[in-house]
C-alpha cells in the first residue's frame, strides 16, 4: 500500500452511470476536503462502502446516511495516511495490511424479502495512539462512543465495566514497552452494523496483562461474572456451560480466549435491544471432528436441525477449501501456501476462530465459527465462487452476482484470480430455523 494510490482507487471503483451520478459521486461533490490523512482514507474506503451498500440493495436514503456516518465518524479516526514506503504509524494487528478497518457482508436468508447487511469493524486511531498519553489506543474509541451516545440510545455500563476490569493501569503497559520491549497493540475496536433500517454499534475488547500477551482465564471469568451478576441468579447459565466444556473437554481445553464483543445500542426498530456477550476464542485444531465437537459443546447442545446444519457447514468448507467430500474428518485442513503479497500476521499460524454468545437468559451459548480464507482459500475468485455455489444450493443466490461484482469493484485493477487475502474470513452461525447465518469478511487491501 502506498500513500499515492488512494485517490486512484477512488476513481477506479466509482459506479459510473449514464445520465446520472452515483451516490458516492454526488455526496463527494459537496463534502469538503479536510486534510491529507482523512482525504486519503475517504478516497480509499469511501468508494468501497458505496459499492457495498449499492450491491446489497440499500435504499438511496440509507446509502446517503451511511456514507455520511462513515465520512464523519470513521474516516477521521483511521489515523495517518501511509508513509511513502507504505508503513503506518499505528498498525492494527487484525488485518494483514495494518489498515484499521474490516468489511463484512452478512448474506441474505432464504426469505424473498431478505437482503445482505453490510458491517464494518474498525480500530479508531488518534494523534496520541501508542504514546505515553494513550498507550492502549483507547481515547478515540471513547470519544466516538461519547459522540454516538448523544445521537442514539446506547448502554455503556458493560463497556465501562470491561474497560475497568480487563486492563491494568495504562502506565504499566507503557513501562513494559519502554523497559522490556513488549509491543503495544490493539486493545479495543468498534463495530458498525449498517442495517437496512438503522445502525447498531458494538464494542470489541482484546485485553492482556501488562508485559504479557493474553489475559488469563481466571481474570476473564471474574470480569464476566461481575457483569452478568447484575441480571439475576440465572444470568451466568451459558457461561457456566461454556466453562465446564473448557475445563473438561479435550477440544475445549485447546481453546484460547482472545476477545469480547458487546452490543451498545441500535436505531433499528427490528433489532434486538438486549446485548449479546460474544466471547472469542482461537483454536489451533482445524479438523472437522474438532469443529463438530465445539459447535455442539461436546453434546451439550442438541437441536432438531443440528445434524443437517453440521452437514451444510461441512459442504461449505469443501467449497471454500477445494477439499474432496471424502477428506478425513480427523485431519487438519491443509494451509494453502501460495497466498498473500504482504507481511500478514495471519501467515505465521493457522487456526479457526469461534465466539460463544453467553448473554444473560441463555441456557447454552450461540456459537459462531470462523474459517480464515487467508489460510485456507486457494485464491479470492475460488473462495467467492465456492461461497456463491453454496448460497445458490440453499435457495439464497439472489445476491451472488452482486457479491462478486462488489469484490471486483473493491479489488480494482487487481484480479481476484491472482491472489488471496482480500477475503479474510468466512463465518457461520446455526440459526434456530435450520438455516446458516453466513458472513463474508474482507479487507480494503489484500494482505
Q: How many domains would you assign to the chain?
A: 1
The pair phi, psi for residue 125, each rounded to 5°, is -125, 135
Helix/strand/coil for 279: strand
Q: What is the mean pLDDT of residues 314-342?
A: 81
Q: Is residue 10 part of a domain?
A: no
Q: What is the mean pLDDT of residues 94-98?
A: 72
Q: Are 256 and 214 in contact (CB under 8 A)?
A: yes
Q: Are 364 and 300 in contact (CB under 8 A)?
A: yes
Structural domain boundaries, residue 88: 21-446
Using one digit for the tens of pLDDT, what is the confidence trace for 383-397?
Answer: 999 999 999 999 999
Q: For residue 327, say whether it is annotated as part of any ligand binding site.
A: no
Say which residue the cell 455442539 belongs to: 296
Residue 10 in grid coordinates? 477512488
Q: Which of 213, 216, 143 is nearest to 184 (CA)?
A: 213
User: How would residue 232 be classed by pLDDT, with cut points 50, 70 and 90?
Assistant: confident
Residue ranges of alpha helices (H) inside 254-349 are 288-295, 306-321
Using one digit for the tens of pLDDT, what is the confidence trace for 60-79?
Answer: 999 999 999 999 999 999 99
Q: For residue 352, say whether it is annotated as part of any ligand binding site.
A: no
Q: What is the mean pLDDT of residues 109-121?
A: 98
Q: Does pLDDT of 182 surpass 90?
A: no
Kindly tell me the number of DSSP H helices and DSSP E strands found in the chain.
15, 10
Q: Environment class of residue 269 by beta-carbon count within 10 Å: exposed (0-12), middle (13-18) or buried (19+)?
A: exposed
Q: Is residue 1 part of a domain?
A: no
Q: For residue 204, say whether it is annotated as part of any ligand binding site.
A: yes
Say which residue the cell 504499566 belongs to: 172
Higher pLDDT, 26 or 345: 26
User: How would residue 8 be classed by pLDDT, with cut points 50, 70 and 90?
Assistant: very low
% of the chain residues with pLDDT over 90 = 74
Q: For residue 94, say whether it is annotated as part of any ligand binding site.
A: yes
Q: What is the mean pLDDT of residues 49-53?
A: 98
Q: For residue 12, say whether it is annotated as part of any ligand binding site.
A: no
Q: For residue 93, say whether it is annotated as part of any ligand binding site.
A: yes
Which segments of 310-422 are extended strands (E)? 352-357, 366-372
Q: Does pLDDT of 17 surpass 70?
A: no
Q: What is the mean pLDDT of residues 234-242?
A: 97
- The kind and range of the H/E element at 27 are helix 23-30
Round to whole Å and give the CA distance between 407 and 418. 13
Helix axes of 36-55 and 60-73: crossing angle, nearest 10 degrees:
150
Q: For residue 276, say whether it is annotated as part of any ligand binding site.
A: yes
Residue 349's pLDDT is 57
Using one digit for the tens of pLDDT, what is the confidence trace for 160-177?
Answer: 999 999 999 988 988 888
Q: Is residue 431 part of a domain?
A: yes
% of the chain residues with pLDDT over 70 = 92
For the ranges 60-74, 200-214, 341-355, the lowest mean pLDDT is seen at 341-355
Other CB atoms within 10 Å distance of the CB of residue 125 = 25
Query: How much is the mean pLDDT over the chain?
Result: 90
Residue 374 in grid coordinates? 487467508
Residue 446's pLDDT is 56
Q: Is residue 258 part of a domain?
A: yes
Round to whole Å and give the CA distance between 175 and 164. 19
- The kind and range of the H/E element at 397 are none
Q: Is residue 75 part of a domain?
A: yes
Round to whole Å and give the CA distance between 281 and 295. 13
pTM of the model: 0.91
Higher pLDDT, 389 or 274: 389
Round to whole Å and give the CA distance between 121 and 186. 13
Q: Is residue 12 part of a domain?
A: no
Q: Environment class of residue 114 by beta-carbon count within 10 Å: exposed (0-12), middle (13-18) or buried (19+)?
A: middle
Q: What is the mean pLDDT of residues 289-298?
A: 98
Amino acid at each position: 500500500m502506498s500513500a499515492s494510490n488512494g485517490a486512484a482507487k477512488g476513481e477506479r471503483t466509482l459506479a459510473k452511470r449514464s445520465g446520472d451520478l452515483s451516490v458516492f459521486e454526488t455526496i463527494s461533490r459537496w463534502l469538503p476536503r479536510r486534510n491529507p490523512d482523512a482525504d486519503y482514507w475517504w478516497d480509499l474506503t469511501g468508494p468501497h462502502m458505496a459499492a457495498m451498500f449499492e450491491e446489497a440493495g440499500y435504499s438511496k436514503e440509507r446509502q446517503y446516511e451511511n456514507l455520511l456516518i462513515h465520512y464523519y465518524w470513521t474516516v477521521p479516526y483511521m489515523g495517518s495516511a501511509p508513509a511513502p514506503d507504505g508503513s503506518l504509524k499505528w498498525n492494527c494487528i487484525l488485518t494483514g495490511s495494518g489498515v484499521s478497518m474490516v468489511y463484512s457482508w452478512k448474506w441474505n436468508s432464504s426469505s424473498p424479502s431478505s437482503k445482505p447487511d453490510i458491517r464494518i469493524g474498525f480500530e479508531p486511531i488518534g494523534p496520541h495512539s501508542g504514546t505515553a498519553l494513550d498507550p492502549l489506543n483507547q481515547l478515540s474509541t471513547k470519544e466516538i462512543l461519547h459522540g454516538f451516545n448523544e445521537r442514539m440510545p446506547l448502554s455503556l455500563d458493560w463497556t465501562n465495566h470491561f474497560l475497568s476490569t480487563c486492563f491494568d493501569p495504562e502506565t504499566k503497559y507503557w513501562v513494559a514497552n519502554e523497559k522490556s520491549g513488549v509491543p503495544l497493540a490493539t486493545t479495543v475496536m468498534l463495530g458498525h452494523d449498517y442495517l437496512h433500517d438503522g445502525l447498531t454499534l458494538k464494542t470489541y475488547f482484546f485485553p492482556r496483562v501488562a508485559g504479557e500477551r493474553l489475559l488469563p482465564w481466571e481474570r476473564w471469568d471474574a470480569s464476566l461474572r461481575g457483569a452478568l451478576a447484575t441480571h439475576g441468579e440465572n444470568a451466568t447459565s451459558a457461561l457456566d456451560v461454556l466453562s465446564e466444556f473448557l475445563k473438561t473437554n479435550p477440544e475445549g481445553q485447546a481453546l484460547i480466549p482472545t476477545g469480547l464483543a458487546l452490543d451498545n445500542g441500535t436505531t433499528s426498530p427490528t433489532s434486538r435491544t438486549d446485548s449479546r456477550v460474544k466471547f472469542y476464542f482461537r483454536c489451533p485444531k482445524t479438523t472437522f471432528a474438532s469443529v463438530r465437537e465445539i459447535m455442539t459443546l461436546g453434546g451439550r447442545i442438541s437441536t432438531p436441525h443440528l445434524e443437517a446444519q453440521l452437514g451444510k457447514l461441512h459442504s461449505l468448507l469443501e467449497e471454500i477449501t477445494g477439499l474432496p467430500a471424502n477428506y478425513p474428518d480427523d485431519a487438519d485442513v491443509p494451509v494453502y501456501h501460495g497466498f498473500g503479497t504482504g507481511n500478514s500476521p495471519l501467515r505465521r499460524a493457522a487456526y479457526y476462530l469461534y465466539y460463544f454468545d453467553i448473554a444473560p437468559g441463555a441456557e447454552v451459548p450461540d456459537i459462531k465459527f470462523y474459517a480464515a480464507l487467508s489460510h485456507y482459500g486457494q485464491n479470492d475468485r475460488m473462495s467467492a465462487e465456492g461461497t456463491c455455489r453454496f448460497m445458490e444450493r440453499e435457495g439464497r443466490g439472489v445476491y451472488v452476482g452482486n457479491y462478486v461484482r462488489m469484490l471486483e469493484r473493491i479489488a480494482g485493477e487487481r484480479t481476484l484470480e491472482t491472489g488471496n487475502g482480500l477475503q479474510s474470513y468466512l463465518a457461520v452461525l446455526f440459526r434456530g430455523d435450520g438455516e446458516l447465518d453466513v458472513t463474508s469478511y474482507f479487507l480494503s487491501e489484500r494482505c
